Amino acid sequence: MNDLALLLTPEGRALLDEVRDTEPAQELAVATRLRRDHPAELVSAALGQARLRQRAVAKFGAEDAGRMFFTPNGVEQSTRTSVATYRARRLKELGVTCVADLCCGIGGDAVALARAGIRVLAVDRDPLTAAVARANAEALGLAGLIEVREADVTEVDTAGYDAVFVDPARRGGRGRVFDPEAYSPPLSWAVETAARAPHAALKIAPGIPHEVVPAAAEAEWISDGGDVKEAVLWFGTGAPGAVRATLLPGPRTLLGRGLPDPAVRPVGRYLYEPDGAVIRAHLVAEVAEEVGGGLLDATIAYVTADEPRPTPYATAYEITDRMPFNVKKLKALLREREVGTLTVKKRGSAVEPEELRRKVRPQGPNAATVFLTRVAGAPTMLIGAPVRAGDRASAPG
């Protein structure tokens, strides 16, 4: 019996409950104790699964992660609930009632789709992964909506489904795969399959070059809590060629308007750091227009402006000082201002933030942010602090 089958027995389930909160440091002692009453193989499977569940909490939340089953690759490659739920709702809004989830992994997306009320055919060719997806549908009470099939997705007939969702494997033997044709299955196969369905969503790496986005697709970059998570190619949304950046938990969606690159302008009192999804979607111009700003430098995604206009798509900072990059000068300034908490941000600078912090040894009760960047090509430090909501309301303009 494999580990999963062992864990699905009544003894396995009871043991999983028992070891649920085991800390890594306690594992050896817990294993030794449990082996007195249970087979060693089951004990190590339960402890391994408990560890994976703990890792999965960040993606799935404690409640679901505590009931689901994972493989090491499965937890790593799965979509977090926030993003999967957002996509599932979009499909639901498009009128989708049944979807073929091609490359379902342990079922992160299938679960969110089913919870949105969509029937799911979930396909994965890896036998253990498919079995885990099945166990997860069962564990979360969604078996009635999710049919798991162990098969190669290239051999699955998707006719009859109103949508296909494809989340290809992007990890090869050596880390992440950047070439979309090296995805398994390749992106070109996914795009062809998408074209045959009324609606489709293909999950891809956020670093994908814009040139490879097919003309028929709408491209959306998604971040969660400020971290870029993925890009999605949508088909059948009625907006071919559209570009969007969506920020979760919102969701807040910025639509591209095809604006030209913003002009470079002199440094103003405010600096806006666009969200990573906005930057990846190439929508910095849309944000610059929203805040009435321009670029600090033609090649860098920092926007500078004279006013603190609130926008969900960028974090605003009030800049108090500007000087050429110079560690000694920064150290002196921070000492004078009694800055003990220094946040280092950089774009267009090779300086290591940690190393800089070590060199300037900030001390004191105050906090500041330093931006290491280029202004009109010259290495520059801009020092300031985030604009808080209250400041924005009272600030002029």
Q: Applying CB under 6 A, which residues contact ligand SAM?
A: 77-79, 103-109, 123-126, 129, 152-154, 167, 169, 184-185
Tell me how far, at minimum, the Cβ of 105 lies from ligand SAM, in Å. Answer: 3
Tell me how far, at minimum, the Cβ of 158 lies from ligand SAM, in Å. Answer: 13
Q: Determine contact, residues 296/302, Cβ cutoff 8 Å.
A: yes
Joined tokens for residue 352: 């290591």
Give the whole-angstrom CA distance, residue 84 versus residue 80. 6
For 222, the enclosing helix (H) or strand (E) is: strand 218-224
Residue 238: count of CB within 10 angstroms of its CB: 9
How would you classify the pairing of strands 314-324 and 98-102? Answer: unpaired
Please say which residue, 126 or 147, places its beta carbon nearer to ligand SAM: 126
Please say which residue, 110 or 370, places its beta carbon nearer to ligand SAM: 110
End-to-end CA distance of the chain: 69
Rg (CA), the chain: 25
Please say which residue, 230 or 286, places its beta carbon nearer to ligand SAM: 230
Give the whole-angstrom CA distance, residue 366 versus residue 338. 6
3-state secondary structure 137-169: HHHCCCCCCEEEEECCHHHCCCCCCCEEEECCE
Tell me how far, at minimum, the Cβ of 165 lies from ligand SAM, in Å. Answer: 8
List of long-range contacts for 56-61, beta carbons under 8 Å, 24+ apart: 59/108, 60/108
If phi > 0 it is left, if psi is from -120 to 50 it is alpha, else beta; for residue 377 that is: left
Tokens 């990573």 label which residue? 276
Please say which residue, 77 or 193, places its beta carbon nearer to ligand SAM: 77
Residue 327: count of CB within 10 angstroms of its CB: 13
Please say which residue, 96 or 106, places its beta carbon nearer to ligand SAM: 106
Tell me how far, at minimum, the Cβ of 313 lies from ligand SAM, in Å. Answer: 26
Tell me how far, at minimum, the Cβ of 155 lies from ligand SAM, in Å. Answer: 8
Tell me how far, at minimum, the Cβ of 50 lies from ligand SAM, in Å. Answer: 19
Please say which residue, 106 or 375, places its beta carbon nearer to ligand SAM: 106
Please say which residue, 107 or 256, places its beta carbon nearer to ligand SAM: 107
Please say which residue, 109 or 162, places its beta carbon nearer to ligand SAM: 109
The angle at the Cα of 373, spanning 367 to 374, to the nearest 5 degrees, equals 145
Give the whole-angstrom CA distance, residue 135 versus residue 138. 5
Tell me how far, at minimum, the Cβ of 42 lies from ligand SAM, in Å. Answer: 25
Tokens 């999950």 label which residue? 203
Please say which residue, 132 or 295, places its beta carbon nearer to ligand SAM: 132
**Which residue type sits at 314?**
A
Tell me how far, at minimum, the Cβ of 98 lies from ligand SAM, in Å. Answer: 17
Tell me how far, at minimum, the Cβ of 281 lies from ligand SAM, in Å. Answer: 22
User: Helix (H, G, I), strand (E, B), or coil: what is residue 241?
Assistant: coil
CA neighbours closer than 13 Å in the CB half-sphere of residue 113: 33
